[in-house]
Amino acid sequence: MHTFVTHRRIPVHKPPRTSSTWAEKILSLLLVAASVALGFACIAAVMQTFQQSISIKNLPIRLEAKPTEEIMHGTGVMSTSATGRMLEPSADDIARFRMAAKVLDPELMQQVPDNFDSVIKNPCWSTSSGEFRCLPYFYITGMFHAGAVSLAEKLRQHPDVLWDVCSGCQFWGEEGKSMAFYLDNMKEAAKFIKQSPEKKVLFDGSPSSFAFYWAAGGKAHRAYAEAMKPCYQSCVQSFNVQKVPVAACMTEKCYNASLAADAKRATEAGIRWDTEAHNPLLMRAVYGDRPPKLILVARDPIARLYSAFHGYPHYHNKYGKSSAGFTAYVEDQVGAFRTCAKDYGETPCALYFEALGNREEVVYFHADQLMRGMYGLFLEIWYRFIPASNWMVINSDDLFQRPKETLEKVVDFLGLTKVDDAALERMASAGRMGSFTNGQEPIQPKARQMLAELYAPYNTKLAKLTGDARFEKWNEQP
């Protein structure tokens, strides 16, 4: 029988709500501000004038993609193999990551030890007060609408695997959740690990952990929020007194200044802002020399996006629950991304989008789904901090069509106790495999073509990183 924490359960899609933090309130206020500002008749003309001033050359930091082999840091270049693939970070690299994390997110590092108990399979430790704490041994990192939640349900049936409240609370991918909160909501599972330290392992199945676009990468960018909050308040005051539109004020004063503050914090932390100030650095800093195992479930990004469009009501409520509605959605979102890329480049827009300016911020809530399908971009950055040997990338077709065979490989990758065929059958049968696109019209050719062109380089990158040519087959859309 599988072991589980009896008094708690994780939500399938949505994490439990917590009281709003100031960071969450900032984001909410920004959205409200954008809506209010757009209501003024003069906003279009004002915004056109200001947007012309936010070209890449005028930013206080230079936003550009860096090839993996050119990633520089304070003391040199991170090591790569003869093939150009990133190697396991050295002890000096890890020490630098840990020092940087203490600057970027001090609370994160205050809760974890320098070393874990070496005789326990799962990363665990005893605090100075005698509490036994554990971090997840492995993560199922992606993605919503790709099969990650289903895989989590299947793995929960394995006798070695434990879960708790925060096995699905999106800790790494959502702002406002502290490490203390995370650990507190994993403490029941830790009791089972203490009873069976050689076998039991804890997992986190939060799909949002993988794609650390701006809305999901807040832990690494607290300085931006700290700078944005008073600037936004100042713009609200300017509107109340001088009737200067909030969005125009923020475009002139806030976005570049907040980006500059964020870049300055990264410099103080001893890292490169553009290549290293990301959630993967923070995760590696937390785990030190015992990095977790990570699983990415990757689905054809066009099919994944179509499922997300039908799965979340705010999308089809706006555009219409139809193939034509999806085409309108794609035109808006891809159009916004392409416009952003002309000014800043594709990689900065994928990673920072709504942080760049009001033009981007007013669409970010919809555009974030677009970024989630850029698997190759995010995986390449993950590999800088947690090497490929700690990753298993699963083509969702394998999970859907050959679940038993796929699960057997997952069990081996995770180093779990081998199970018999009957147990594999039970695991394969667990977890719903439905789709929000069942019964829907086919994607229209125009939307498919626009998305195929957008995702093609990222699919190619994913194929090269993983050595699985099937991911590049996604470029051959019907």
- Spell out the SS3 assignment of 151-212: HHHHHCCCCCEECCHHHCCCCCCCCCCCHHHHHHCCHHHHHHHHHCCCCCEEEECCHHHCCC
| Closest of 301, 229, 242 to residue 454, by C-alpha | 301
Mean pLDDT for the chain overall: 84
Q: DSSP string spanning 296-327?
A: EEE--HHHHHHHHHHHSHHHHHHH-SSHHHHH
Structural domain including 385 reads 22-61+89-475
Which range (50-54, 235-239, 316-320) has the least confidence? 50-54
In the prediction, which pLDDT does 60 show? 43
Residue 477 pLDDT grade (very low, low, confident, very high; cuts 50, 70, 90): confident
Cα–Cα dist 245/366, whole Å = 23
Residue 72 pLDDT grade (very low, low, confident, very high; cuts 50, 70, 90): very low
- Per-residue pLDDT, averaged over 196-207, amounts to 96
Is cis: bond before 143, omega within 30 of 0?
A: yes
Look up the CATH number of the domain holding residue 146.
Answer: 3.40.50.300
Is 155 within the bounds of a domain?
Answer: yes
Strand 138-142 and strand 201-204: the pairing is parallel
Using DSSP's 3-state secondary structure scheme, residue 281 falls into: helix
Is 72 within the bounds of a domain?
Answer: no
Is 454 within the bounds of a domain?
Answer: yes
Is 421 within the bounds of a domain?
Answer: yes
Query: At how many degrees (to 10) do helices 246-269 and 91-104 cross?
Result: 140
The model carries a pTM of: 0.83
CB 205 within 8 A of CB 163: yes
Find which of 113-122, 141-150, 362-371 is predicted with most confidence, using mean pLDDT. Answer: 113-122
Residue 86 pLDDT grade (very low, low, confident, very high; cuts 50, 70, 90): low
- Per-residue pLDDT, averaged over 180-209, amounts to 96
The DSSP 8-state label assigned to residue 103 in this structure reads H
Query: Mind listing the pLDDT tens digit for each residue in 31-61?
Result: 434 443 434 333 333 333 333 333 333 444 4
Cα–Cα dist 46/126, whole Å = 58
In the prediction, which pLDDT does 114 show? 94
In the prediction, which pLDDT does 367 show? 77
Is 77 within the bounds of a domain?
Answer: no
Residue 99 pLDDT grade (very low, low, confident, very high; cuts 50, 70, 90): very high
Q: Is 80 exceeded by the pLDDT of residue 451?
A: yes
| Closest of 253, 461, 444 to residue 376, by C-alpha | 461
CA angle, corner 64, sides to 60 and 68, nearest 5? Answer: 135
CB 156 within 8 A of CB 2: yes
Query: Mind listing the pLDDT tens digit for each residue in 341-376?
Result: 999 999 999 999 999 999 999 886 667 899 999 999
Q: How many domains does the chain have?
A: 1
Residue 68 pLDDT grade (very low, low, confident, very high; cuts 50, 70, 90): very low
Residue 478 pLDDT grade (very low, low, confident, very high; cuts 50, 70, 90): confident
In the prediction, which pLDDT does 83 show? 40
Is 390 within the bounds of a domain?
Answer: yes
- Per-residue pLDDT, averaged over 303-315, amounts to 91
Is 8 within the bounds of a domain?
Answer: no
CB 174 within 8 A of CB 20: no
- Per-residue pLDDT, averaged over 138-147, amounts to 89
Two tokens, residue 335:
């159009």
**Size of the chain, expressed as the number of residues it contains:** 478
* Partners of 395 in beta bridges: 298
Q: Is 60 exceeded by the pLDDT of residue 434?
A: yes
Cα–Cα dist 75/466, whole Å = 29
Is 134 within the bounds of a domain?
Answer: yes
Cα–Cα dist 381/230, whole Å = 32
Q: Is 70 exceeded by the pLDDT of residue 25?
A: no
Give CA separation, 107 vs 20, 64, 216, 418, in Å. Answer: 17, 30, 18, 38
